[in-house]
Amino acid sequence: MTEANLDGQQASAAEESIPMTGAQMVWEAFVREGVKTVFGHPGGAILPTYDALASYEAAGKIHHVLVRHEQGAAHMADGYARATGRVGVCICTSGPAATNLVTGLATALMDSVPVVAVTGQVPTNLLGTDAFQESDVVGVTQPVTKHNYLVTDVSELPMILKEAFYIAREGRPGPVLIDICKDVQNATGEFRYDMTVDLPGFEPWPTVDMSKIQQAADLINQAERPLILAGHGIKLAGVSRELLEMVERAEIPVVTTLLGAGDIPETHPLSLGMGGMHGEAYANRAVQGCDVLIAMGMRFDDRITGSLDRFAKQAKIIHFELDKAEVGKNVVPDLPVIGNLGETLPALLSLIEQRKHPDWLAELNVWREDSGQTDIINYEVDELIPPYVIRQLWHSTKDTERGPAIIVTDVGQHQMWESQYFVHEFSGQLLTSGGLGTMGYALPAAIGAQMAHPDRLVWAVVGDGGFQMTLQELAVLKQERDLPVKIAIINNGFLGMVRQWQQLFYERRYVGTPIVAPDFVKLADAYGIPALAVRKPEDVSGAFKQALETPGPFLIDFRVKEELNVYPMVASGAAVDQMIRRPKPAVVQGFSGVEPSW
Amino acid sequence: MKHTLIAWMRDKPGVLNRVSGMLRRRNFNIDSLQVSHSETPGISRMTFVVDGNERMVDQVISQMRKVVDVTRVEDISSKPSVVRELALIRVQTNAETRSDIVQMVNIYRGEVVDVALESMVVQIVGSEDRVDSLIELLNNFGIIEMVRTGRVAVVRGMTERKHRRSTAVWRARANGYENMDEERLTTGGV
């Protein structure tokens, strides 16, 4: 091939630039990025961009979901992203709208969720004048985004849009915000989208040091009491199959973090479930008893480690992690393996030998049986309690035609009960705000997840406190043609987790925790959503059945026992094996029809 | 221990804010911070001094590298380098003290850059210690006003790589890292 030919080919391969307005560029870039759904709320400074949306909606290229509060938009984009692994997109106007996004962006940043947020900004000539609905959005969102942009020149917009998606998606995912001045949206510029992103300071995928993998494999192959601590990274890298293969080949038990729920199926004999503050006692004892701790795609959050001074001191710690800043931040590993788990885990797998650890597993099983006897919850058979509701939820969803449900939880006691009593079967089954602990997350995130998977069964499990933070998004279910999100409110009349801490550490002074709620059934009715309240244990399974059989959304208000604590529990600052156990049962018996298999 | 770090960053609006904001919210203890142009157009150079142990400095560097606009970060504390600070000090004078002050300034290889009847402005360039100690002396005469830059530094031109390796191995062992990877060793444990 001659040089001329080569040049000719390159010239024809290059995209021709098209003149369009900044507003059109936004949607054009979304289409090129494969975005089909955006969550947003219009307003003055973003009006030109909304106007340009009309033709994209008419052509069926982009569907806009109108939220009732911008926080909802960010959580919906987050839920959409978590449910698909793709970048979630939200859009809103300047000032108060943009500041309303902050909680959602912070949630996404803490949990490594790829989100692109577009906000309108006052025109460039008004910047810094305290114009109507002006706020320093780039300043405000800087600590809660992976990166952000203020666009004051339309010629920069296409590249910024491309960079934003690139940064949000590549490496450890996170939210990116683009603040676009109104005059830039109106201005006309040249649009093309085949440029190469050139960010010299952005290294999303560090080079893997293969010698580290060999060292890790040696440690693992020689271990007598190995344990894997698996986190969100397994899901982000999409390597739960490889993880399972390694676990089975080398017979290594697995403890997960909250966001790692389902990294291997929790029905698997080698799954010990969640560890940490409200993890099972045997899972935490395993952490404190292993000789090699293999941490994968997790960041040693204080909720999983308890006291750092006493965390797995006996073990050699291997830390597989993409983000170098997480290595040595909380726990200094003996062997750091920095890199994408999608590369490191398959490489490791090829070096892992077949092993059996009968003694270690036997010991774990003793602990498991022991905690099964002593950690069993004190059931009072005539009362409705959340663990029972969660267990029934699992029973009602596991064998449906639509496949296993996606569960979206809010934050608090119900979140912990869900993680303890629901049996997660796959990585990504549970969507929850782990790092930031954002109350009000569940309903909007469930809407996002349901928009991503219209045919899947999506349950929002939410407390009466958290639900009241974002319940206005119920209207979205109606507006989106009866979006079939099912909602289970675990209603105990308290901000339960705070009340639990007040009971345990503040001598039962319940300050600010008793919470009055509206009649949720009437509320749902006002929104046109079928609902019922459940007060007795024997009505639970029937209610779940009715929810499944009713097309569209459904809400169940579970009026559960008021003062019940989540156990086991590691008090803040204690070592993870110093647990407050579940109280010994006065009555060890389940309700009729439920196996006591906690 | 105090560490001198150098960061290069794209000269974009708000980049200083991004970096200083990150340092603040991660609760890192910064002694001084100085930004200027570098030899490359479009790239700014920041010299900053962090007070902390090896692990904390490692964290600062890793977190710094995550700031998208930061293109490179280096810890030069363990390398032979030229480190300077500049101070301008307006000190009270009178006929009796003037010559004493000039003499002291000369000993410190400073310069008198402005003289008035009742004060003079002294310029001193040197290591932090030297600047500190001259300031202490001049304090006896009464300092009216003072301004000083943060630390600025460049690495001396020697066989850098060899030096980097040996100091990094030492630092790694001192820090309890048995198995340092090659990349960490050759970049000075950073």
- Domain closes at, from B53, B78, B103: B78
- Quick one: closest CA in B to A166, which residue? B68
Interchain contact, B68 vs A147, CB within 8 Å: yes
Q: Are residues B101 and B145 in the same domain?
A: yes
Q: Is residue B49 part of a domain?
A: yes
Picking from A135, A111, A50, A64, the residue whose alpha carbon sits closest to that of residue A261 is: A111
Helix axes B15-25, B54-66, angle to 10 degrees: 140
Query: How far A156 CA sits from the closest chain B CA (Å)?
Result: 13
Interchain contact, A143 vs B25, CB within 8 Å: yes
The residue assigned the tokens 């970048």 is: A87
Q: What is the pLDDT of residue B160?
A: 52
Task: State whether the Cα torsion A474-A476-A479-A483 is positive or negative.
Answer: negative
Element (H, E) at A182: helix A182-186
CB atoms within 10 A of CB B126: 18
Picking from A459, A372, A449, the residue whose alpha carbon sits closest to that of residue A414 is: A459
3-state secondary structure of A549: helix
The answer to whether A520 and A531 have CB atoms below 8 angstroms apart is yes
Q: Are residues B103 and B65 in the same domain?
A: no
Q: For chain B, 190 residues long, give each residue's pLDDT as a single digit of tens.
A: 889 999 999 998 889 999 999 999 999 989 999 999 999 999 999 999 999 899 999 999 999 999 999 999 999 998 899 999 999 999 999 999 999 999 999 999 999 999 999 999 999 999 999 999 999 999 999 999 999 998 999 998 864 555 455 555 545 555 555 554 444 444 433 3
The residue assigned the tokens 């750091």 is: A336
Task: Give me the DSSP letters along A242-309.
Answer: HHHHHHHHHT--EEE-STTTTSS-TTSTTEEEE-STTS-HHHHHHHHH-SEEEEES----HHHHBSGG
Q: Are residues B86 and B145 in the same domain?
A: yes
Q: Is residue B166 part of a domain?
A: no
The answer to whether A57 and A31 have CB atoms below 8 angstroms apart is no
Q: Is the pLDDT of residue A565 over 60?
A: yes
Domain that holds residue B132: 82-152
Three-state secondary structure of A475-512: HHHHHCCCCCCEEEEEECCECHHHHHHHHHHCCCCCCC
The residue assigned the tokens 């000190």 is: B91
Distance from first CA to last CA of chain B, Å, rounded?
Answer: 16
pLDDT digits (tens, 9 = 90+) for A342-379: 999 999 999 999 999 999 999 999 888 766 554 444 44
Q: Is residue B117 part of a domain?
A: yes
Q: Does A138 touch chain B (CB under 8 A)?
A: yes
Where residue A403 falls among pLDDT bands split at 50, 70, 90?
A: confident
What secondary structure letter does DSSP report for A431? E
Q: Is residue B167 part of a domain?
A: no
pLDDT digits (tens, 9 = 90+) for A43-54: 999 999 999 999
Interchain contact, B59 vs A215, CB within 8 Å: no
3-state secondary structure of B142: coil
Q: Are residues B16 and B54 in the same domain?
A: yes
Q: Which long-range contacts (CB under 8 A, 24 or more apart) does A48-57 make?
A: A48/A21, A48/A22, A48/A23, A48/A182, A48/A185, A48/A186, A49/A22, A49/A23, A49/A91, A49/A118, A49/A120, A49/A180, A49/A185, A51/A23, A52/A21, A52/A23, A52/A24, A52/A26, A52/A27, A53/A27, A56/A27, A56/A30, A56/A31
Q: Side chain identity at A375, as an amino acid letter?
A: D
Q: What is the pLDDT of residue B169?
A: 52
Interchain contact, B9 vs A201, CB within 8 Å: yes
Phi, psi values for residue B99, rounded to 5°: -70, -35
Q: Are residues B107 and B148 in the same domain?
A: yes
Where residue A388 falls among pLDDT bands split at 50, 70, 90?
A: confident
- Quick one: closest CA in A to B60, which residue? A325
Interchain contact, A167 vs B183, CB within 8 Å: no
The CATH number assigned to the domain holding B70 equals 3.30.70.260
> Mean per-residue pLDDT for A229-248?
97
Q: Are residues B12 and B40 in the same domain?
A: yes
Inter-CA distances, A277 with A232, A234, A273, A379, A569, Å: 17, 21, 13, 22, 5
- Beta-bridged to residue B10, according to DSSP, are B43
Q: Is residue B135 part of a domain?
A: yes
Query: How far B68 CA sits from the closest chain A CA (Å)?
Result: 5
Separation between Cα atoms, residue A199 and residue A163, nearest integer Å: 8
Domain count of chain B?
2
Question: Exposure pattern of A348-386 as b/e (b: 16+ CB <10 Å)?
Answer: bbeebeeeebeebbebbeebbeebbeebbbebeeeebbb
Three-state secondary structure of B8-52: EEECCCCHHHHHHHHHHHCCCCEEEEEEEECCCCCEEEEEEEEEC
CB proximity list for A244: less than 8 A, separation 6 or greater = A264, A265, A268
Q: Are residues B66 and B86 in the same domain?
A: no
Q: Does A209 touch chain B (CB under 8 A)?
A: yes
Picking from A496, A388, A408, the residue whose alpha carbon sits closest to that of residue A457 is: A408
Q: Are residues B31 and B45 in the same domain?
A: yes
Where residue A572 falls among pLDDT bands split at 50, 70, 90?
A: confident
CB atoms within 10 A of CB A60: 8
Picking from A88, A31, A19, A91, the residue whose alpha carbon sits closest to that of residue A56 is: A31
CB atoms within 10 A of CB A479: 14
Interchain contact, B65 vs A203, CB within 8 Å: yes
pLDDT digits (tens, 9 = 90+) for A313-347: 999 999 999 999 999 999 999 999 999 999 999 99
- Averaged pLDDT of chain A: 92
Question: Of A306-315, A475-484, A529-538, A575-584, which range is least confident?
Answer: A575-584
Best mutation target, B61, B68, B179, B185, to test chain A (most A CBs within 10 A): B68
Q: Are residues B61 and B100 in the same domain?
A: no
The CATH number assigned to the domain holding B110 equals 3.30.70.1150
Helix axes A341-349, A240-250, angle to 10 degrees: 30
Q: Is residue B159 part of a domain?
A: no
Q: Is residue B19 part of a domain?
A: yes
Question: Judged by CB atoms within 8 Å, which residues 443-502 of A form the interface with B?
Answer: none
Where residue A596 falls among pLDDT bands split at 50, 70, 90?
A: very low
3-state secondary structure of A123: coil
> Mean per-residue pLDDT for A98-121?
98
Picking from A435, A479, A434, A488, the residue whose alpha carbon sits closest to that of residue A458 is: A488
Question: Of A37-41, A425-429, A586-590, B84-88, which range is least confident?
Answer: A586-590
Q: Are residues B63 and B90 in the same domain?
A: no
Q: What is the pLDDT of residue B13?
A: 86
Interchain contact, B9 vs A329, CB within 8 Å: no
Domains located in chain A, CATH noted: 18-191 (3.40.50.970), 210-368 (3.40.50.1220), 378-566 (3.40.50.970)
Question: Of A138-152, A265-279, A361-375, A552-566, which range is least confident?
Answer: A361-375
> Mean per-residue pLDDT for A95-119?
98
Q: Are residues B147 and B93 in the same domain?
A: yes
Distance of CA B99 to the CA centre of its chain: 32
Q: Does B186 touch chain A (CB under 8 A)?
A: no
Residues of A belonging to the active site: 70, 132-133, 182, 497
Q: Is residue B66 part of a domain?
A: yes
Q: No. of H helices and E strands in chain A?
A: 24, 22
- Beta-bridged to residue A531, according to DSSP, are A555
The answer to whether A436 and A490 have CB atoms below 8 angstroms apart is no
Cα A379-A274-A259 angle, rounded to 5 deg: 120
Question: Judged by CB atoms within 8 Å, which residues 1-30 of A form the interface with B?
Answer: none
Pairing of strands B2-10, B70-75: antiparallel
> Mean per-residue pLDDT for A474-492?
98
Q: Are residues B89 and B48 in the same domain?
A: no
> Mean per-residue pLDDT for A475-502?
97
Nearest by CB: B63 against A139, A325, A336:
A325
Q: Is the pLDDT of residue A279 over 70?
A: yes
- Beta-bridged to residue A487, according to DSSP, are A460, A555
Chains A, B: CB pairs < 8 Å: 55
H-only helix segments in A33-156? 47-58, 70-84, 95-100, 102-110, 137-141
CB proximity list for A220: less than 8 A, separation 6 or greater = A226, A250, A252, A292, A294, A318, A348, A352
Nearest by CB: B183 against A142, A209, A325:
A209
Phi, psi values for residue A554, rounded to 5°: -155, 140
Query: How far B111 CA sits from the closest chain A CA (Å)?
Result: 41
Q: What is the pLDDT of residue A383?
A: 83
* Both tokens assigned to A507: 């001598």
Q: What is the pLDDT of residue A576?
A: 87
Where residue A597 falls among pLDDT bands split at 50, 70, 90?
A: very low
Nearest by CB: A328 against B13, B58, B178:
B58
